[in-house]
Structure 1
Amino acid sequence: METHTVCINLITILSDFLQAASENHQSYIISLFLSGLYVIFFFPVGFIGNILILVVNLDHSGRLTAPDLYFVNLAVADLLLVADSMIEVFNLKQGYYDKAGLCTFMNLFQQANMYSSVFFLTWMSFDRCVVLTSTVGHSVPRARLSCCLIWMSSSLLTVLPFAVAQMQHAGELHFCFANVTQIQWLEVMLGFLLPFCILGLCYWRIAQVLLRSQREQNSPQQRPRRQKALRMISAAVLVFFLCWLPENVFVSVHLLRGDTDGGTLWQDYPLTGHAVRLAAFSNSCLNPLIYGFLGETFQKKMRLLLLGRSRWSKLHRSASRKLIYVPAAQKCLHVTCHRATQSTCLGPDILPQTAMLPSNKLHTKGNTNSS
């Protein structure tokens, strides 16, 4: 009887173990599939797109305007966040956080880039709203000060999670996060709810101004530009909401459950945590498409850059095919200068000739000089 009971217990334990192993393997396969989709479709767009925005704006001749400064700083923040996302992509088994120093650094780096990206998006919408609805114009010194304050505030807000980030262990898995409830509520409020409200209100006000201007002026030439601007506004708000909502809902559910250990939800649902984190990273990948490639200013700069490169390439190819002309020689009074083609008395300020003389004129000119 006892042997039969022991066998039943062993079978139960073995079946539970196999079921858990099967579920873990299935979660790993799904996580691997999601990571593959991110690497194939989102990461190239975010990495190349943000680099292209930096190249086009920094290579453009002339001083950077205030909107250009915001675009450049947003591209830097998004580029760092996209590069940092590779840790999340390849960290499917949470094995990179074995050391407390790396755990703390990665938490610091991700939080700083997330805050800076969200804050730049929010400030850009506020700046556009102020410029369109008031007499205040763009100011480059004010834009520089705003960018510095955004980076400083992002760093200061990152210090709090940086100070309390810890490694949490669940078997062979390692998780890295701040386990202070108040700080996580602060991240949800300042990292999503408040920016989303400001973003929505500012772009709603901008849309009102554009629609009123369209009704008053009724210009068929300006109508496509206004419609394009409205589409860009709608896309910006929608993409921000869809990308950042899953992670913040995930964290909010964890906080509302009242878990005091700080890691229950992430440990119980590692697949969901991985998916919502990739969705948040996708916002930095899609920002170049919305704020860069849909904007007319960036498109004009892009055309100028490509046109300049094309002209330079054509000029280089045409110059390589042309003959190399010898500079014109001054009259030489030395006895050795009996032929015009052998004169070595070249003035320093002589320009290269653009046409070659026939051979008979060269001989005639040489005879005249020698005489």
Structure 2
Amino acid sequence: MWSCGLLNDTGHGEEQLCQDLRLGLWVLSLLYLVAGVPVGLGYNALLVLANVNSKSSMTMPDVYFVNMAVAGLLLAALAPVHLLGPPHSRWALWSLSSEAHVTLLILFNVASLVTMYSTALLSLDYYIERALPRTYMASVYNTRHVCGFVWGGALLTSFSSLLFYICSYVSSRIAECAKMQNTEAADAILVLIGYVVPGLAVLYALALISRVRKEATPLDQDTGRLDPSVHRLLVATVCTQFGLWTPYYLSLLGHTVLASRGRPVDGHYLGILHLAKDLSKFLAFLSSSITPLLYRYINKTFPSKLRRLIKRMHCGHRHCSPGPSGIQQVMAQA
């Protein structure tokens, strides 16, 4: 990553600036790999395990955050290869074949789509739950099935992009790929489906949520409502995800617009675009570490779930004695 190879034909001052930027970004990448990746892997794994261990107490937002955590685990696992190993980089610690590079890119896109759509659907379902508490549409059961469709849709969307990437490598051997010799169409699909659509959905949901919050109704006293901290968690998650992923999708859009001119882009602008795309991908990887931290410090139920998980791991196969809450439930039933 962080290559300045396309700027060699520019002025010495610009090339030196690029070299300095590349060195700084390389240092940031190493810091992220040393600190951010372990944090992302650890907290995402704890988020998934703690909620799976407490299925009975999971709420609709928990299900979406579990799916974002799984996508975060995938991103954290891909980070070392993406940040240290792309074939165009002179800093690469290893080289990748074209097939492996395409596979890693598709996995990255799948994680990206799952993250963005989970955020968008969390916003919409939170509005539904806010407007109509205890509704089936925002139930845990329905949310789990919706998340299954999210992963399936992400795979199908990435498959269409996969065709463009494959054809960009084998177009000289297969006549049917003659009209798909570049990846701009795949980038345009990702920008439209992976960013514009969920972005509009989030804006619509936030507008509806703000309207509902201004109108006090008897439903506000419903004990089945989600904890008020969920709203803060929702706003923080939306700002984090879209703030960190927007540069990546803007870089894809910029590459598509420049390629649509029908003439080659000069090395200067193409080099800047590649550097911006690498930086934006680095910011996208940061989301896999920041989102679980937000969940940890804003969600009030996570510490108790984590304690139950630790207690269960400590007990192992032995029968654990019920805690105070369990004793109270037994006494109430008696």
Q: TM-score, normalised by structure 1?
A: 0.64
Answer whether contact 2:127 2:209 (CA < 8 A) is retained: yes
In the alignment, structure 1 residue 106 sits paired with structure 2 residue 104: yes
Q: How does 1:2-81 map to 2 (within 5 A)?
A: 22=16, 25-60=19-54, 62=56, 66-81=60-75
Report which stretch shifted further, 61-70 or 123-132: 61-70
Answer whether contact 1:247 1:277 (CA < 8 A) is retained: yes
Q: Which residue of 2 aligns with 1:148?
A: 148
Q: CA deviation at 1:134?
A: 2.8
In the alignment, structure 1 residue 290 sits paired with structure 2 residue 294: yes
**Quick one: distance in 2 between partners of 1:103 and 1:67?**
34
**Quick one: distance in 2 between partners of 1:112 and 1:61?**
26
Q: How does 1:314-353 map to 2 (within 5 A)?
A: none
Q: CA deviation at 1:241?
A: 2.5
Alignment size in residue pairs? 286
**Quick one: distance in 2 between partners of 1:300 and 1:189?**
40
RMSD of aligned alpha carbons: 3.8
Q: CA deviation at 1:82?
A: 1.8
Report which stretch shifted further, 283-292 or 264-273: 264-273
**Quick one: distance in 2 between partners of 1:287 and 1:54?**
13
**Quick one: distance in 1 between partners of 2:130 and 2:196?**
24
Structure 2: gaps (5+ residues)? 1-7, 170-180, 222-226, 320-334
Q: CA deviation at 1:269?
A: 3.9
**Quick one: distance in 2 between partners of 1:57 and 1:45?**
18
Report which stretch shifted further, 287-296 or 192-201: 287-296
Q: CA deviation at 1:155?
A: 0.6
**Quick one: distance in 2 between partners of 1:305 and 1:105?**
35
Q: How does 1:221-260 map to 2 (within 5 A)?
A: 226=228, 228-257=229-258, 258-260=260-262
The structure that has the greater radius of gyration is: 1
Counterparts in 2 of 1:262 and 1:52: CA distance versus 1, 3 Å: farther
Secondary structure in 2 matching 1:296: coil
Answer whether contact 1:203 1:233 (CA < 8 A) is retained: no
Q: Deviations over 1:191-241 (max 9, x none)?
A: 1122122123223433443444499979xxxxxx63x44432332222122
**Quick one: distance in 2 between partners of 1:39 and 1:16?**
32
Answer whether contact 1:69 1:143 (CA < 8 A) is retained: yes
**Quick one: distance in 2 between partners of 1:125 and 1:269?**
32
1:299 paired residue among 293, 298, 303: 303
Counterparts in 2 of 1:99 and 1:304: CA distance versus 1, 3 Å: closer
**Quick one: distance in 2 between partners of 1:15 and 1:65?**
56
Code of the aligned partner of 1:245? T
Code of the aligned partner of 1:294? I
Secondary structure in 2 matching 1:115: helix
2:80 paired residue among 77, 86, 102: 86
Counterparts in 2 of 1:15 and 1:306: CA distance versus 1, 3 Å: closer
Report which stretch shifted further, 194-203 or 49-58: 194-203
Counterparts in 2 of 1:49 and 1:253: CA distance versus 1, 3 Å: same
Q: Deviations over 1:75-98 (max 9, x none)?
A: 111211221122122126535564
Answer whether contact 1:107 1:162 (CA < 8 A) is retained: no
Q: CA deviation at 1:41?
A: 4.6
Q: Which residue of 2 aligns with 1:131?
A: 129
Counterparts in 2 of 1:106 and 1:208: CA distance versus 1, 3 Å: same
Code of the aligned partner of 1:280? A
